[in-house]
């Protein structure tokens, strides 16, 4: 039972890592993609393959995309984002 539990967790971690890398590539090319949130200048990108939202904002001055949160879809509300 323990081995199966760890295998499943490792598989999920690998999928999450793969999806985050893909999201970073997308954001590096099209940073204004995604949906708006209630927080000023914060957007989100749906990572539907793994069931998470990636929350980010764009720092126009530095040209950087700043990750603000990572949360499972379907929680019913946005995380506290500043």
With a cut of 80, say whether residue 8 has pLDDT above it: no
Question: What are 15-54's pLDDT values in tens digits?
Answer: 889 999 999 999 999 999 999 988 888 999 999 999 999 9
Looking at residue 81, its pLDDT comes to 64
Looking at residue 29, its pLDDT comes to 92
Looking at residue 33, its pLDDT comes to 92
Rounded Cα–Cα distance for residues 18 and 76 (Å) = 25
With a cut of 90, say whether residue 72 has pLDDT above it: no
Rounded Cα–Cα distance for residues 45 and 30 (Å) = 11
Q: What does the domain layout of the chain look like in residue ranges?
A: 2-72
């Amino acid at each position: 039972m323990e081995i199966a539990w760890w295998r499943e967790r490792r598989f999920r971690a690998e999928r999450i890592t793969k999806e985050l890398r893909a999201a970073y590539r997308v954001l590096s090319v099209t940073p204004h993609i995604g949906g708006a949130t209630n927080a000023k200048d914060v957007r989100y990108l749906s990572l539907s393959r793994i069931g998470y939202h990636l929350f980010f904002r764009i720092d126009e001055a530095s040209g950087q995309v700043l990750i603000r949160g990572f949360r499972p879809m379907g929680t019913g509300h946005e995380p506290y984002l500043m």
